């Protein structure tokens, strides 16, 4: 594949994996996210993702973003980041994310968004 086209299977530092389908001509893509962890000890299920990336033929090491709509919880994560090719030609996705959880009432809104970062590599 073209370097830093996100199509394929990726695994992150938490052991989560995601499979991204063919990236369309306008950079849009869909896929499935399988998280290795969740905030509460619940039955984790594969969840759909939707995203878009800048196209590697126009820009090298393109930026991207995607949203995961967790199918087992009332919460959403948005990831954004950039694909880098390191010295041995391996692609790395450096990302940051915001995890928005459902708040029972407006007063709980302040504590409903978590932030973090993940690094993804291709599953060889
Ligand atoms: O925990 C989740 C979903 C999985 C998030 C995985 C994160 S995304 C960033 C990071 N990177 C990665 O690979 N995995 C982690 N939601 C929040 C809590 C919650 C759970 C429930 N519930 O479980 O019923 C109900 C309502 C809720 O608000």
For 99-123, the pLDDT digits (tens) are 999 999 999 999 999 999 999 999 9
Q: What pLDDT does 94 receive?
A: 98
Mean pLDDT of 38-51: 96
Q: What pLDDT does 56 receive?
A: 85
Reduced to 3 states (helix: H, G, I; strand: E, B; else coil), residue 103 is coil
What percent of the chain shows pLDDT beyond 90? 90
pTM: 0.95
Non-local CB neighbours of 87 within 8 Å, separated by 6+ positions:
none
Mean pLDDT of 79-93: 95
Structure confidence at residue 124 as a pLDDT band (50, 70, 90): confident
Ligand 1 pocket mutation pick from 16, 73, 108, 111 by most atoms within 8 angstroms of CB: 73
Long-range contacts of 55-60 (CB under 8 A, 24+ apart): 55/5, 55/23, 55/25, 55/27, 56/2, 56/3, 56/4, 56/5, 56/83, 57/2, 60/3, 60/4, 60/85
The ipTM (two decimal places) reads 0.93
97: which strand partners?
79, 116
Check if 74 has its Cβ closer than 6 Å to any atom of ligand 1.
Answer: yes
């Amino acid at each position: 594949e073209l370097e830093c086209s996100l199509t394929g299977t990726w695994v992150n530092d938490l052991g989560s994996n995601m499979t991204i389908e063919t990236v369309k001509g306008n950079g849009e893509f869909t896929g499935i996210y399988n998280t290795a962890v969740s905030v509460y000890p619940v039955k984790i299920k594969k969840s759909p993702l939707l995203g878009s990336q800048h196209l590697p033929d126009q820009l090298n090491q393109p930026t991207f973003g995607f949203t995961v709509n967790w199918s087992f919880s009332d919460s959403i994560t948005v990831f954004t980041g950039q694909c880098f090719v390191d010295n041995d030609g391996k692609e790395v996705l450096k990302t940051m994310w915001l995890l928005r959880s459902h708040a029972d009432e407006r007063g709980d809104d302040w504590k409903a968004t978590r932030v973090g970062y993940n690094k993804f590599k291709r599953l060889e």
